[in-house]
Every structure is written in structure tokens, then in C-alpha cells.
Amino acid sequence: MSFTTPEFWVALLQIIGVNIVLSGDNAVVIALAARSLPLAQQKKAVAWGSGAAVVMRIVLTIVAVELLRLPYLKLVGAALLLWIALQLLLPENEGEGHASASGSLAAAIKTILVADLVMSLDNVIAVAAAAKGSVMLLVVGLAVSIPLVVFASTLLLNLMNRFPVIITIGAALLGWVAGEMAISDPAVKAWIDAQMSYLHYVAPALGAAGVVALGKFLAGRAEAKALAEAQAETPMALARSDTGVRRILLAVDGSEQSRKAIEHVLTLGKESGDPRSMEIHLANVQPGLPGDVSGFVSKDTVKGFHHEHADSALKTAREMLQQAGLAFKEHEAVGHAGPVIAEMANKEGCELIVMGARGLGANSAVLLGSVVQSTLEHAKVPVLLVK
């Protein structure tokens, strides 16, 4: 496959896209494994661990490319890719980290290497399929995308958390690659080319559409089940009519739209005339880490990671509320923001939820990955979206 052909560049973009989406958990392990080290050693751990992981990933993927030349293995690989794509769309496990914490440089590098070896099966198969047998394309794609994931991991994770539609697109891409992979298996390719050539266009499209549709259905069902269980265990707190105090849940994420939501609550405080008439519950919900991450880092490290990011998101709101003399309680949680915010309001007996709408107009539900939409669907009290 020549680099001057459109097919080369399409396949290259597929490899880069697959790497970005599927390497998120690897990037988290790299960040967490080096987190407890001094700053200078953190950089060494990331550099050495990631460099060795890149070499190992390239070797494993080249082996996979050769193995996929054998009959029936592409069919098996396609089925595995479809399963992996569905997992991307299902709710993540919060994880109960059980690996022992270690503060040494050698231990951090070892953690990065072992984690990358264990967690890279999905990545290796997907990239090998997208490469379509071209070792040159494989090496170029990995050389471009892996450093991007390693050194821009925080940025990529933040983008995926803020715009989960990226994950949906990634799952659809995997479904597309799985469809292409299945019909190119040596055991069926000749027959398909002769009898059902239209499958070259239909199979990838069906793979992409089927993954997204089924994944969204299963995710919605899992989310509804988790929310029902939480509601069954959570007693309703006293509402304003019982105490005379107006309880407001202020959900923030550190964004500019969150700041506008804070300012609106401050305005409500001024209008009330008595700060004691309002009870503000300041909340931040961090997305759960992939469940397999917890096998390589300690529970305390995961908790510290979530607390550090939540504290950063709450900082501005905390300072503004303190300056205004308004009393508030802080809440940090991990999970899917929409249902968690709604249930938190229910638990604390809040009569209003205030949150930023990000100003994305009618398409906000799609772009935000249903955070706002999910809060609206699950909340039992009014939700005020501030633009």
C-alpha cells in the first residue's frame, strides 16, 4: 500500500483513531504509576516506561499482523473487536484498586510495562486489522499515535470526559474495522468477492451502526439498574418545607460555564437577603476509571487521583462562595455525572439543581455525552441550566 494512495491515509487515520480511543486506560496507568514519585523521577518513569512500551507494542502488533493472515483468525478477531467496542460504551467500573503502592522508579517502570502488556490486546488486534497487512503503515501509525497518547494523555482524557461523543465515534470506528476485518478473512474472502461483493460496503457500516445501537441500549439499561439500586438504598432528606431552608445542589466541573452557574447561585444568595436561608451543596463528579486500571495501582492512588481532580474543579466555586459568605457543603463522587448528580440532590433533599449548560445550543445533549440530558431525565427536582 503506497503512501500516495487515499487508502493509505484512510487506514493511517483509522490506526491513530483506534490508538487514541483504546489507549486511554494505558495513559491512566502511566500517570498513576508515576504519580507518587518526585517530579524528576516522574518524567524518567514516563519516558523509560513509555519508550519500552512503544517498542513492545510495535513488536506485538507486527506478530498479530502475521497471525491474521491465517484462515479464520480474522473472524475471531472481528468478533473480539465488536466485543471491545461494546465495552467502550458500557458504564465503567469504579474499581477497587488492589495493587500495592510503591514509590520507586523501577517499580513504576515495571508497572507501566506490565500494564501495557496485559491491557494492549484490544489495541494490538484493532491496529493490526486497520493496517491491512502493511508493516510500513503499522509502524508509521504507531509512531505517530503512541507518543500523542503518552505525552498528551491528560489532554486526551479531559477531552473524552468532556465530550464522550469521542468514545462513541471510537466505538463506531472499531465496529467499522471489525466489519472490514471479517469479510477479508482468507477463509471467506474469495467467496464474498465472487458472490456477495456488496458486503465490502455493507459489513463495515453494519458493524459501526450495530455497535453504537446495541452499546447505547445496554448502557442505558445498566445505568437505569444502578440508579434504581441507589434510590432503593437512599432515604429522602428533609426538604425546604420541613426546615425553612432552601437547599440547592450546585454541580461544577471547573469550566467557564460552571463559573456562570456559581455566579447565578451568588445572585440567588443576594436576593434572599439572609445567607442562612440557603444551604448549598457544592458537588463534583469524576468519571470512573476503567476497571482494569485498578489491577495495577493501589486503591489509595486511585482515590488520590480522583480527589486531586475533584479538588481542582471545586476550587473556584469554593473561593467564590466563601468570599460571598455563603455556607456550603462539599461533595465528591465518582461515576456517571448525570445520575449521580440527580441522586445526590435526592439524598440531600435539594429542591433545585444548578449547573452550567456549556452554551452548546440544541446539540448539547449529543456533544456532552448526555451529562446534562441524563441529569434532566433522572432529577426529581427542577434543573436550572446556566449559559
pTM: 0.66
Within-domain flag for 276: yes
Within a domain: residue 231? no
Contacts of 1 by beta carbon, 8 Å cutoff, 6+ apart: 7, 8, 11, 132, 134, 136, 137
Which grid coordinates belong to 367? 456533544
- Are 212 and 243 contained in the same domain? no
pLDDT tens digits, residue range 210-233? 999 998 888 778 777 766 766 665
- Tell me: do 195 and 288 sit in the same domain: no
- Counting the structural domains of the chain, the total is 2
DSSP β-ladder status, 328-334 and 352-356: unpaired
Query: Both 204 and 312 in a single domain?
Result: no
* CA–CA distance, 282 with 328 (Å, rounded to integer): 7
Looking at the fold, whether 266 and 382 belong to one and the same domain comes out as yes
Quick one: residue 370, left, alpha or beta (phi over 0 = left, psi -120 to 50 = alpha)? left
Quote the domain boundaries for residue 198. Answer: 6-225
CATH number at residue 318: 3.40.50.620
Residue 20 placed within a domain = yes
Kindly state whether residues 32 and 152 are assigned to the same domain: yes
Residues 218 and 348 in one domain: no
Is 1 part of a structural domain of the chain? no
Distance, CA of 225 to CA of 232 (rounded, Å) = 11
Q: What is the pLDDT of residues 324-371, one digit of tens each?
A: 888 899 999 988 888 889 999 999 999 999 998 764 333 344 444 467
Helix, strand, or coil here: 112?
Answer: helix
Whether 77 and 121 map to the same domain: the answer is: yes
Whether 97 has a pLDDT exceeding 60, the answer reads: no
CA 290 distance to own-chain centroid: 8
- Tell me the residue length of the chain: 387
Residue where one domain finishes, among candidates 162, 193, 225: 225
Choose the final residue of a domain: 201, 225, 249.
225
- The answer to whether residue 27 sits within a structural domain is yes
Residues 92 and 124 in one domain: yes
217 & 246 share domain = no
Measured CA to CA, the distance from residue 59 to residue 55 in angstroms comes to 6
Are 154 and 252 found together in one domain? no
Domain identity same for 185 and 64? yes
Q: Does residue 255 form part of some domain?
A: yes
Least confident of 144-153, 205-214, 323-332: 144-153
What would the pLDDT profile of 332-345 be if each residue is shown by its tens digit?
998 888 888 999 99
Supply the DSSP symbol for 289.
P
Domain boundary among 225, 260, 283: 225
